[in-house]
């Protein structure tokens, strides 16, 4: 299992808002508690942030993401996506496609996923979910 944490989109949105407003909040608190942790995001999260209005300027988006490793879509990620999709669908637990890609990436890279949406991501078998809120 690789070291480090994957930060889900809700975490990054909260962090960006805290930084923009100059207000300390749960995302910054979490980072202070884990100062030496390697932090990553998924390719899906990078795309979600690019689609948002707060980071609509490419240079601002790139600057915000510069602190994080962006994990790519690999054949292992695709396999984890397919396996997880079939399981969730068969059990009536299906989640949105982007969140499924995020969860599959965390599974494939063997890293915990940091989110405030724990109930949602805990549907994914074998995914380690960490709450920050």
Q: How far apart are alpha carbons 19 and 36 in whole angstroms? A: 20
Q: What is the pLDDT at residue 2?
A: 52
- Residue range of the domain that includes 60: 5-131
- Which CATH number characterizes residue 70's domain? 3.40.50.1010
Edge-to-edge strand order for the sheet containing 5-7?
69-71, 39-42, 5-7, 113-115, 129-131
Q: What is the pLDDT at residue 93?
A: 97
pLDDT digits (tens), the chain, 133 positions: 458 999 999 999 899 889 889 999 999 999 999 999 999 999 999 999 899 877 788 998 899 889 899 999 999 999 999 999 999 999 999 999 999 999 999 999 999 999 999 999 999 999 999 999 8
Q: What is the pLDDT at residue 40?
A: 97
Task: Return left, alpha or beta for 126; rule: phi > 0 is left, psi -120 to 50 is alpha, else beta.
Answer: left
Sign of the torsion formed by the C-alpha atoms of 43, 6, 76 and 94: negative
69-71 and 39-42 beta bridge pairing? parallel
Enter the DSSP assignment of 77.
H
Q: What is the pLDDT at residue 1?
A: 42
Helix or strand holding residue 29 (H, E): helix 26-33
**Which residue(s) pair with 115 in the sheet?**
131
Q: What is the pLDDT at residue 38?
A: 95
Sign of the torsion formed by the C-alpha atoms of 31, 36, 37 and 42: positive
Domain count, the chain: 1
């Amino acid at each position: 299992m690789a070291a480090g944490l994957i930060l889900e989109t809700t975490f990054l949105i909260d962090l960006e808002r805290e930084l923009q407003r100059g207000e300390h909040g749960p995302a910054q608190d979490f980072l202070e508690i884990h100062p030496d942790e390697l932090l990553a995001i998924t390719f899906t999260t990078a795309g979600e942030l690019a689609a948002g209005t707060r980071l609509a300027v490419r240079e601002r988006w790139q600057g915000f993401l510069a602190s994080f490793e962006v994990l790519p879509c690999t054949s292992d990620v695709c396999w984890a996506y397919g396996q997880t999709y079939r399981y969730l669908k068969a059990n009536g637990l299906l989640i949105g496609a982007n969140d499924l890609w995020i969860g599959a990436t965390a599974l494939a890279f063997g890293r915990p996923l940091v989110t405030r949406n724990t109930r949602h991501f805990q549907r994914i078998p074998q995914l380690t979910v960490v709450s920050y809120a």
